Chains A and B, each alone.
Chain A
C-alpha cells in the first residue's frame, strides 16, 4: 500500500459569509487546486465533506455542483456526511481512495453554510443526530457538554477556571489566524462572567455558528514529488463509533470513539502520544479538549485540566501546543469544513507555512468529533523526509 501525501491546501475566511454553500465550496476548491499546482482535469476523485446543506439551505448534490463549478468533470464524486466529523471522515475517504490505488489525485473540500439560520434552528439541525428518546427531551449538544462538564469538575475536583483557560488559550491562538472567525483575545474574567448557556458552561465555552470551507489535495507519495518539494504524509488514520445514546456510555468522561480511533492511528503510524509535536482537537466545547487529551493519551484520566493549568498546551511555551489555529472555539465551526480545516492547520505547521502560529513540529495529530463523541476520526501526519 503506497503512502498517501498531502500536497496542497486552502481555507476560506470563516465567519458570516455572503455566499451560499456552492460558492464557499468552489472558493476553497479553486484555491486548493492553485496551491497544489494541479489542473482540475487531473482530479480523479472529488469528495465533499458536508453535514446538512439540504437541511440548512435546501441544496443537495453539492459534490456534483462542485465538480461542475471548478471544471473537474468527469471525476468520481461523493458527499461525506458524518455530522461534525464529516471533515475527518472526508480525510479518511480521500486517504482510502489514494491508498487503494483507485485515484492518483483526490481533492477533498469540506464546507457548511449556517449563519442564515437562527441559533435555535442551527442547534436543532445539529441535535437531530440524537435518538428519539433523547430528542424529545429537547437536549442539545451544548446540554450534553454542560452535563459532562459538571460531572468532570465534581469527580476530578477540577476548578471551573481550568475550562475557561482553554477558551482563553484558543482565542489567543486565533488572533494570529487570518481566516479565523474571531481574531480577538478574551480574558478569564470575560469567559467566567459571560451568559450561561448550559450550566456550568457559559457562552465562551462554546464555538460559534459559522460559514466556511477548507480543502486538501491528496495523492500517492510517488506522485507528490512531481508537484512539491515540501509535503506531508498521512502516516496513521482511523475512525471509530461510540453509542448513539450518550447516557448509555459506561463512563461519561470517556469518549470511546476518541480512544479507539486514536489507538488505530497510533498503531498504523508506529507513533505514541509522546511523538506528537502539535495537535488540533475538536474543541466545539471547552470540556471536549480535556476529554480528547485524555482519550488520546496526552494525559491520564481526570488530569488534562492540570496540564492546561501548567501551560503544557500553550502555543509558544508548551510541550504540546494544542489548537494553534485557534481551534473551533475561535476559528469557527462550519460543520463539514472543521475536520478538513484541522488538517489544513497541521499541514501548514508541518511544511512551515503557519506564519505567526508556527511551532517546531515534525509530527502532528488531528481529532475530529461528530455528535457528542458519537463518531470520531483521528489522523496523524508527518513532514516528508
Chain B
C-alpha cells in the first residue's frame, strides 16, 4: 500500500494526483508519502460522523516536507488524513500507520466499488 502524490511537469505536486496540474501541466512521477513524516497544519475531532465512520473521527490537514525526494520545484505537499488520536497540537510531527479500511465500504452513499477504502492513519512521532 502506498500513498502517492503526483509531481507535474511544471514542478507542482498534489495529493491526490490529477490528470493535469493546477496549471495544466502533465504528470511526470509519483512520490510515496507513506515513507515520510508530516506536520499538523490544523486538526479537528468530529463527533457527528456519517454511516460507517468511526466516532469520534480525528482528522487533520498535514504537510509533508519532501524536499529530499525532488530535484526542483515545490518541496512540500498537503493531505487530509485521519489521526490515531485527538491528543495532538498544531505543529506536531506525525507518521503513517496502515489501516485496511478507513471507513466501512457500502455503509454510506458512495458505491463501494467506485473507490479504494484503505490508507493510513497518522500517529504522533
Residues of the A chain whose Cβ atoms lie less than 8 Å from the Cβ of B47: 195-199
Interface status of A97 (Cβ within 8 A of chain B): no
Question: Which residue of B45, B102, B110 contacts A128 across the interface (Cβ within 8 Å)?
Answer: B110
Question: Which residue of B41, B49, B50 contacts A252 across the interface (Cβ within 8 Å)?
Answer: B41
Q: Which of the 9-residue segments A132-140, A328-336, A348-356 touches chain B? A: A132-140
Tell me how many residues of A have a C-beta within 8 Å of chain B.
40
Question: Which residue of B41, B48, B115 contacts A123 across the interface (Cβ within 8 Å)?
Answer: B48
Interface status of B70 (Cβ within 8 A of chain A): no
- Please give me the residue from chain A that is nearest to B62 by CB atom: A247
Interface status of B61 (Cβ within 8 A of chain A): yes
- Please give me the residue from chain B that is nearest to A243 by CB atom: B22
Q: Is the CB of B61 within 8 A of A124?
A: no
Interface status of A225 (Cβ within 8 A of chain B): no
User: Among the interface residues A133, A246, A247, which one has the most CB atoms of the partner chain B within 10 A?
Assistant: A247
Q: Is the CB of B80 within 8 A of A199?
A: no
Interface status of B66 (Cβ within 8 A of chain A): no
Q: Is the CB of B109 within 8 A of A128?
A: yes
Interface residues of B in 53-68 (CB under 8 A from A): 53-54, 57, 59-61
- Please give me the residue from chain B that is nearest to A202 by CB atom: B47
Interchain nearest-CB distance for B16 vs A (Å): 4
- Please give me the residue from chain A that is nearest to B63 by CB atom: A247
User: Among the interface residues A119, A154, A248, which one has the most CB atoms of the partner chain B within 10 A?
Assistant: A248
With A133-B15, A136-B117, A150-B90 as contacts: A247 and B61 at CB distance below 8 Å: yes
Q: Is the CB of A197 within 8 A of B46?
A: yes
Q: How far is the CA of A121 from the CA of B117 in the complex (A)?
A: 19
Interface status of A270 (Cβ within 8 A of chain B): no
Interface residues of A in 123-175 (CB under 8 A from B): 123-125, 127-128, 131-140, 142-143, 146-148, 150-151, 154
Q: How far is the CA of A120 from the CA of B57 in the complex (A)?
A: 13
| Given A120-B49, A247-B78, 17 extra CB contacts under 8 A | A124-B51, A135-B110, A138-B59, A140-B49, A146-B44, A146-B45, A147-B59, A147-B61, A148-B42, A154-B90, A195-B47, A196-B45, A197-B46, A201-B44, A243-B22, A248-B22, A252-B61
29 sample A-B contacts, Cβ–Cβ < 8 Å, listed by A number: A120-B51, A124-B50, A124-B108, A127-B50, A128-B109, A128-B110, A132-B110, A133-B16, A135-B108, A136-B102, A136-B116, A136-B119, A137-B82, A137-B102, A138-B49, A138-B50, A138-B53, A138-B103, A139-B46, A146-B44, A147-B43, A147-B61, A151-B42, A195-B47, A196-B47, A198-B45, A200-B44, A247-B61, A252-B42
Residues on B lying within 8 angstroms of A by beta carbon are: 14-16, 22, 41-54, 57, 59-61, 78-82, 86, 90, 102-103, 108-110, 114-117, 119
